[in-house]
Amino acid sequence: MTSKSCVIIDYGIGNVFSVTQALAHLDVSVRLTSDRAAIKAADRVILPGVGAFGRAVDTLRAMNLDETIHSFIETGRPFLGICVGMQVMMEQGLEFGTHRGLGLFGGTVERIDLNEADGRPLRVPLIGWNSIHQTTPSRWQGTAFSGVADGSDFYFVHSYAAMMSNPQDVAAVAHAGVGGITAAIQRDNITGVQFHPERSADAGLAFLSGFLAQ
């Protein structure tokens, strides 16, 4: 059996230290790099991200990493986007203007505009722990969530959320406000999570272990 290894894309936007520490806890060989050849050759790749959609995607394009990400995904090997790293995988982001995303998933990233059950506006940014649920009873089977219990709590910090064109791409929903928000997206070898698994204790480690097992 080959040892687990993972490349984290280093583009200056993302909490790479926490992600690296979480993977190290799982005894994973981690490389933090922006080298395009190393990314394309990786066993699996993580794209972290914090801050604004536009800055993140513009930086990826300026470093020619957008093409690298597409090339890697075409290999069929596992790819994970975390927080803004998930958001930039969408077609478009509406944070501080309109920005073109990587187009890996159809839909837009829009400011959270939900109400609580009593009609009060949901407080934004959404900060803290929220339970997530799979969208169908078997949705997590064979995915990075296979070892995660439905209803597990994960840590979120964000003001914008993905509005998906294809509901089948939604892997998990967080019960925040009436209707909830997209917590995770998944299709084929591509997974994106709005929450921070590296800050989500045992549930986060279970999710990362599932990603590493793919």
Q: Which of 83, 95, 99, 158 is catalytic?
A: 83
CA distances from 102 to 25, 76, 84, 129, 209 (A): 31, 17, 12, 28, 26
99 is catalytic: no
Q: Which of 95, 99, 158, 198 is catalytic?
A: 198
Please give the backbone phi and psi of residue 33, each rounded to the nearest 5 degrees, phi first: -155, 155
CA distances from 99 to 35, 96, 139, 184, 194 (A): 25, 9, 30, 21, 18
6 is catalytic: no
Q: Which of 6, 99, 158, 196 is catalytic?
A: 196
Distance of CA 27 to the CA centre of its chain: 21
> Residue 137: is it exposed, middle or buried by C-beta count within 10 angstroms (0-12/13-18/19+)?
exposed
74 is catalytic: no
Q: Are 133 and 89 in contact (CB under 8 A)?
A: no
Under DSSP, is residue 191 helix (H, G, I), strand (E, B) or coil?
strand
- Comparing CA positions, the residue from 55, 47, 58 lying closest to residue 86 is 47
> Which contiguous run of DSSP H or E holds residue 71?
helix 65-74
Residues serving a catalytic function are 83, 196, 198
